[in-house]
Structure 1
Amino acid sequence: MTSKPKIIVLDDDPTGSQTVHSCLLLTRWDVQTLRLGLADASPIFFVLTNTRALTPEEAATVTCEVCHNLKIAIETEGIDDFLVVSRSDSTLRGHYPVETDVIAQEVGPFDAHFLVPAFFEGGRVTRDSVHYLMVDGVPTPVHETEFARDSVFGYHHSYLPDYVEEKTNGRIKAENVERFVLSDIRQGSLERLLNLNGNQCGVVDGETQADLDKFAADVLSAAAQGKRFLFRSAASILTSLASLGAQPVPPENMAQYVRGGKSGVVLVGSHVKKTTQQLEQLLKLSDIVGVEVDVAHLLEESASQRDALLAKVVAAVNEIYNSNKTAVIYTSREELVFKDVQTRLNFGAAVSALLMDIVRDLPKDIGFLISKGGITSNDVLSTGLDLRSARLLGQIIPGCSVVRTPSDHPQFSDLPVVLFPGNVGDADGLVTVYQRFC
């Protein structure tokens, strides 16, 4: 029997593991840490690069560094067979084609790279090469949603070949993009896959997990015959490629991971509309107490003003925790306007640095931590908790991963941490996650 290739996921925020379980998430990418992922028993592992929070130039630098070390680690571990996935946002935001170009240059050549943005748990499907987001049950082309108006990653097309042409500034023409539509996928794509070469760009439909299961099976068959592929995808194709089966502990039983049955802390950094709706519902619960962090003037504040704000928030959280309630720490919700992209990124970095200082000062024996927002969650793992790696336990609701810190963590040993993307879940999503831990 042919062994399956190792699936190496470079994740631009830490939420791409939201459809799998029992694998490693790496927050660092030195050669030794990458070897941990390559040697792990799971067929898949994730390198959390957090590049969506960076400038294009920084994203390229980080991706290049990961790939350079990855080549060394792959050679050291004697890995012959692997697939590389550049995992990004299911609403088409992110540094495409910056990251795929660097990966192809550093660990290629590849016969093709595929855009597979379907993410079924989040209501994202692709039909006839048009990518849709379900809004109140209605399939809406993503270019008509708030995500297409993103000030950093905005775009004008839901038809993926046109999206590719737009993002590559015409280097890849829409008419030269290979389209794998539902009828193609369901009939079988192996022959077409075997004929691809020269890092051909392909876009892939997906309406159900079975569609991607079929496509993944053909991809793995082609890979077994020597073809090399790169993916730019959301999370659902990872389910099909890894084929892990059911997670060990069902979502409704995740409370068994809570430390000592104690109350926890919820940290909300995301500002998308869905997160704000979910936060409003959570704050209605009687055993929840909100702690608003006013960040509007963070860039203009002095160090002493920032320290005073930090001390005020930490004191409030400790008081709430000592009363056996759960503190919900959230950044002020008003929409801020920035003079340019760099100022927005600087603001995001300043907010994150403050939130991570709060994480480091949380009560040491909290029962759990829920982190809301992709970039926030990445920073919680890599900076707030200072983890080298974490083991993914599974999903607590569709699309929301639970990881656990190592038992030898100096501050928060065996702490369950929820990585909750900003755009995932219904209006009661945060409430459901919280209640499953209680």
Structure 2
Amino acid sequence: MSAQAANRPKIIVLDDDPTGSQTVHSCLLLMQWDVDTLRLGLADAAPIFFVLTNTRALAPDEATRITREVCHNLRLALDAEGVTEFLVVSRSDSTLRGHYPVETDAIADELGPFDAHFLTPAFFEGGRITRNSTHYLLINGVETPVHETEFAKDSVFGYSTAFLPDYVAEKTGGRIAADQVERFDLEAVRSHCQDRLMNLTGNVCCAVDGETQADFDRFATELLNAAAEGKRFLFRSAASLLTSLAKLGPQPIAAESMATYGRTEKPGAVIVGSHVKKTTEQLMELLKADGVAPIEVDVARMREDFTQSATLKQEALAQVATAFTQNLTPVIYTSREELQFDSIQQRLDFGKAVSGLLMDIVQGLPPELRFLISKGGITSNDVLSVGLGLRSARLLGQILPGCSMVTTSAEHPQFPKLPVVLFPGNVGDATGLATVYQRLRYAND
């Protein structure tokens, strides 16, 4: 680690699903958060590391408990490693879904006090920008306020406005009024604003505009300068700000050449859990590709009886084995029907049961697997922590804008050095999943 890097604050990211690393590379993702594991991240040469909490899949009370537990252990790990300069990022969805302000409140209680917390939801690789404090999603080139998209109708994390000060007021139940939110518009972001940052106190909420990576690069420099002067900042952020804070430069191997990470000359596998419209469109395109074997898992059979999972697992793995004998890449996906539930808790319980089934399938995949593509944020988290049983993984880089690829260790008991793609549900165009498959498949399969 260079002297310059050593003088920078360590960037600690609590990621509510495993896709927040989608703009950086060559750092650690931690699937556990005991003190010793957190010390691995703090001692690592990279200026940034991620703790995958998967809290977006949990109820608010459980998300709070997990966040507090991570922060409590993090305080002990920071003391043990002698790290005094750090920034904390609560990484969440670029379409404003997630446990806000639950998680930032818990972090502030455990690791504060902070002078400010910044909302920076722009994610440029995914076509999400913020202008005049309003957050937009580019849909077919059209800037659409996110409250007009399917994401705002999420049954767990829905919201009514893309104007961030009003969003904050809505999510905090009025505890933070819209007019109390400090707005860093594009003019502020693109100018010298360190003096303004130095005057922030009392964990004030700040909404930050951004249209390009250059905007965040400039703002991150101001933030780091203020932090060097003693200001303590917390972030509720999508992935793009992390690029600007970490300053890692290009990844070691270009996205188009990542097939070199393939560990065998056998097929890989694709597992699809996400149900958003974009995922379904991408799945349909992938199923048109050569060399794939579609395997649908009819999870509706589990709606009333979770014990059906054992039969569904046996059926799916039998089809996987057949696909491998034919040198085909199995594409394992949950049935696309959107099921309705009487309560949020019932939906969460069903989601956990489905994820458990998918992880059982992952554990039953052939050991000679060339690669694994995981589609969906919660699915990807469970693939790493449960399906593969990882304590940590090294991030290789991005195989597609917004899509991280990690590798298991050489000591993994079942899948050593397996490249795993973490493909968020709401990222990429219609051909994105097919593109990643083509970039990883063995040339002769």
1:279 aligned partner:
283
**Deviations 1:294-315 (CA, angstroms, capped at 9, x unpaired):** 0013142263x32222111001
Alignment of 1:115-154 (within 5 A): 115-154=119-158
What is the TM-score normalised by the length of structure 1? 0.99
For residues 311 and 164 of structure 1, what CA distance do their matches in structure 2 show?
Answer: 46
Alignment of 1:37-436 (within 5 A): 37-301=41-305, 303=307, 305-436=308-439
For residues 15 and 267 of structure 1, what CA distance do their matches in structure 2 show?
Answer: 15
Q: Is contact 2:186-2:210 (8 Å) kept?
A: yes
For residues 188 and 433 of structure 1, what CA distance do their matches in structure 2 show?
Answer: 40
For residues 262 and 254 of structure 1, what CA distance do their matches in structure 2 show?
Answer: 16
Write out the 4+ residue segments of structure 1 that deviate beyond 4 Å after TM superposition.
none
Q: Is contact 2:306-2:353 (8 Å) kept?
A: no
2:34 aligned partner:
30
Q: Is contact 1:299-1:350 (8 Å) kept?
A: no
- Across the aligned residues of Structure 1 and Structure 2, the Cα RMSD in angstroms comes to 0.8
For residues 81 and 116 of structure 1, what CA distance do their matches in structure 2 show?
Answer: 21
For residues 328 and 25 of structure 2, what CA distance do their matches in structure 1 show?
Answer: 30
Question: Does residue 4 of the first structure (1) align with residue 38 of the second (2)?
Answer: no
Alignment length (residue pairs): 437
What is the TM-score normalised by the length of structure 2? 0.97
**Deviations 1:331-368 (CA, angstroms, capped at 9, x unpaired):** 00011111110000001000000000000000011100
Q: Is contact 2:181-2:206 (8 Å) kept?
A: yes
**Deviations 1:236-275 (CA, angstroms, capped at 9, x unpaired):** 0000000000000000000000012321000000000000
Task: For structure 2, list consecutive stretches of 5 or more residues without a partner in the other structure.
Answer: none
For residues 152 and 323 of structure 2, what CA distance do their matches in structure 1 show?
Answer: 39
Work out the percentage of aligned pairs sharing the same amino acid: 68
For residues 335 and 306 of structure 2, what CA distance do their matches in structure 1 show?
Answer: 19
Q: What is the SS of the residue equivalent to 1:411?
A: coil
For residues 261 and 250 of structure 1, what CA distance do their matches in structure 2 show?
Answer: 21
